[in-house]
Amino acid sequence: MPLKPSMLTTHPRKPQPREVRSLSCPNCGAPIQVSRRAMSYRCGKCSMPMKLEDVTVDQLNNTRTLNTMGHIHLTAHSKVDGELRCGELTVSGSYHGNAHVHGKVHMQSHSHCSGEINARSLTIDDGASFEGQLRIGPKARIEAPQLEPPEFHDPMIDPAA
């Protein structure tokens, strides 16, 4: 018995994401394409979870470690001490510490950075200052963050803890 035309269903191609962000996994280096609206992703090759959200820091005397494959923007009023691991970095304020950036670093005018920067590319506007060590280029060694396993506590062995 032949099928009626109204019973046939055509399956169009899968829709492609409109806005795509191209990244590489910080752990294994596998190329990744994700939606710009994605907040997190797990690598299909090594299964490493990663945050993709963009972060804006506008606080004074902020000491912290930021880890995202998104964009970190340090505003003109921010003073940050710590470690940054991100996809892109824009500095408008003051930063001291280590930055491991998988993309580009942009230091805007009147910004100040000191410490170590590992990145694919660096742009420094007139009036910005940098003191420290740079590793720039496509083969710059950018280490993935090491996740520490949770400590195992057995109350039978150590009841005091």
Does a structural domain hold residue 2?
Answer: no
Name which of 93, 95, 56, 54 is nearest 71 in CA terms: 54
Structure tokens at 41: 């992703």
Per-residue pLDDT of the chain (161 residues; tens, 9 = 90+): 666 666 666 666 666 657 888 777 877 878 888 888 888 888 888 888 888 888 899 887 677 788 888 899 999 989 999 999 888 999 999 999 999 998 899 999 999 999 999 999 999 999 999 999 999 987 655 555 444 445 555 566 655 55
61 and 114 fall within a common domain: yes
107 and 118 fall within a common domain: yes
Does a structural domain hold residue 132?
Answer: yes
26 and 36 fall within a common domain: yes
Q: What does the pLDDT read at residue 153?
A: 57
Does a structural domain hold residue 120?
Answer: yes
25 and 98 fall within a common domain: no
**Domain containing residue 24:** 19-52
Does a structural domain hold residue 159?
Answer: no
User: What's the rounded Cα separation, in Å, for the pair 158 and 89?
Assistant: 45
User: What's the rounded Cα separation, in Å, for the pair 53 and 88?
Assistant: 11
DSSP structural state of residue 121 = E
Does a structural domain hold residue 30?
Answer: yes
31 and 96 fall within a common domain: no
Q: Structure pTM?
A: 0.71
Does a structural domain hold residue 82?
Answer: yes
Name the phi and psi angles at 9, rounded to 5: -120, 125
Does a structural domain hold residue 72?
Answer: yes
Q: What does the pLDDT read at residue 133?
A: 94
* Domain total of the chain: 2
136 and 64 fall within a common domain: yes
